[in-house]
Amino acid sequence: MRGAIAVLLVLSLASPLGCAGDPPPVASPAPDPAGAPAPQTRRDPDPPSAPKSRGVTRRERMDAGLESFIIGAMVGTLFFPPIGTVAGAVGFGVYGAVTGEVPLSGRRGGGGGRPGSEAEAEDEMEREIEAEMAKQDALEAEIEAELKRQEELLEEIDRDEKLRQSDQARDAGPGGEVASVDPTEAPLAPKERDLPASIFDEKPRKIEKGEWGNERPLEVVARSLDADRDGAPEEIRYHDAKTGVIVRREEDRDYDGRIDSWTHYESGLVAGIERDTDGDGRLDEWQSYGRDGRMERREVDRNADGVRDAFYVYSGDSLVEERHDGNSDGKIDRIVHYQDRKVARTEEDLDRDGRMDTWTYFASAGGRAEVSRVERDSNGDGKPDTFETYEQIAGKPTLKQRDEDKNGDGTIDVKSVYENGKLKQREISDPTLTPL
């Protein structure tokens, strides 16, 4: 009904009542009473040097009004449905009927020798619509790719947790029990096996300043255990010669005849551990512990290139942060934040320029973390300018709303609302941004 009213309104404005610029009616000459024809009054044509411009004809106004009505309806449907359909059709139609010009095309209506034709206008309009639809398709594909990437990131975090769980199983306490089974729980420091002193070979030794990073020379007693009697001890414990308190322990954990684990003590408590986990003769893992016996920090060289590329930070009894250098350039490109032992937020430097450009927030759904919000820095100024909100539909994160700050002034310029992942409505606060 509203569409019909709009059509009638456009047609009424373009009706044959006459408009400025239409050619004036030609009056028929009055007959002479005597029967002779009345003389014809003839206006001389304008001189060539001052050609008279022809106004917009009624036909051109009608064509422009109809074409503008169609364009207005399509624009309104695309950006502000359903009210925008009627408003756009009426507004554009009235404008075209009054001025004889077609909005967004930069020309007048067809006919009368004017540039362009109705067919060309329709082709141009179709191209604009196709271009907008192509943009939407590209955006949807981009969003799908981002969701897939986030899913892969969560899978990578899960794999990393399993590796840490395996490491904790490797660091079993006395009797072989695992110190911790939750990979987001701060591991307890490994304890010494309670072994009788008679199985150790004792030997006094002086440790020179700096040999272990010590600030002064140390007098110690080295107690070695060579269970298989091959001349390469599987474990060496160093005790302070005066107090008997343990200060260092060295282990051959894979029994290949080489020491691959070094534990440092402070006041008899584990303070740090250094390890060569792949047997290449170089350190690739560093652990530090607090006085409560819980791990405070863990650093790893995962690809054995000599550069630490994974850092884990614990607070109290829980993991609170991971920092990763994915390309081993010495710069952190991903940070994972935990809250209550669950993934809460990630920061990523996707273009590897040294600055974070993507921030993802997670919410717990069905016992696992799911994407709830993504913020992006698209212009590289270090501040987010695109904000996406997701909702769970059929167990899958689906885009609900997308806000964009196009000019970087800190104010949202474009708000897009989605329904089941498809664009439903778009609001544009800055008219200079249209068409997008």
Q: What is the pTM of this model?
A: 0.65
- Determine how many CB atoms are found less than 10 A away from the CB of residue 144: 12
**Any domain includes 112:** yes
Amino acid letter at 84?
Answer: G
**Any domain includes 110:** yes
User: In this predicted structure, what is the pLDDT of residue 284?
Assistant: 96
Number of H helices and E strands in the chain, helices first, is 4, 20
With residue 69 as reference, give the H or E element that holds it.
helix 58-79
**Any domain includes 148:** no
**Any domain includes 103:** yes
**Any domain includes 69:** yes
**Any domain includes 436:** no
For residue 409, what are the CA distances in angstroms to 86, 111, 393?
33, 45, 33
- Determine how many CB atoms are found less than 10 A away from the CB of residue 427: 14
- Determine how many CB atoms are found less than 10 A away from the CB of residue 305: 11
Beta strands in 122-217 (DSSP E): 201-207
Question: Which tokens hold the place of 155?
Answer: 């899978």
Residues in the chain: 436
Scan for tokens 């917009």, then name that residue: 56
Q: How many structural domains does the chain have?
A: 1
Cα angle: 258, vertex 260, 266; to 5 degrees: 130
Torsion of CA 22, 27, 28, 31, to 10 degrees: 180
pLDDT in tens, the chain (436 residues): 333 333 333 333 333 334 444 444 444 444 444 444 444 444 444 455 444 545 567 677 777 777 777 777 676 666 666 666 666 667 776 776 666 676 666 555 554 444 456 677 777 777 777 777 777 777 777 777 777 777 777 777 777 777 776 666 666 544 444 445 788 999 999 988 888 989 999 999 999 999 999 999 999 999 999 988 889 999 999 999 999 999 999 999 999 999 999 999 999 999 999 999 999 999 999 999 999 999 999 999 999 999 999 999 999 999 999 999 999 899 999 999 999 999 999 999 999 999 999 999 999 887 788 999 999 999 999 999 999 999 999 888 899 999 999 988 899 999 999 998 888 998 988 777 655 5
Cα gap 252→49, rounded to integer Å: 106
The answer to whether the beta carbons of residues 69 and 7 sit under 8 Å apart is yes
| Residue 396: exposure state from Cβ atoms within 10 A (0-12, 13-18, ≥19) | middle
User: In this predicted structure, what is the pLDDT of residue 105?
Assistant: 61
Domain span holding position 65: 1-15+56-116
User: In this predicted structure, what is the pLDDT of residue 124?
Assistant: 77
User: In this predicted structure, what is the pLDDT of residue 33?
Assistant: 42
**Any domain includes 310:** no
Pairing of strands 261-266, 269-275: antiparallel
The count of C-alpha atoms lying within 13 angstroms of the C-alpha of 185, restricted to the half-sphere facing its C-beta, is 11
**Any domain includes 75:** yes
User: In this predicted structure, what is the pLDDT of residue 22?
Assistant: 46
Cα gap 330→7, rounded to integer Å: 66
Is the dihedral angle over the CA atoms 408, 412, 416, 417 positive or is it negative?
positive
Q: Which residues of 168-192 are buried (b: 16+ CB within 10 A; e: fewer)?
A: beebeeeeeeebbeebbbbbbbbee
Question: Which tokens hold the place of 259?
Answer: 């020491």
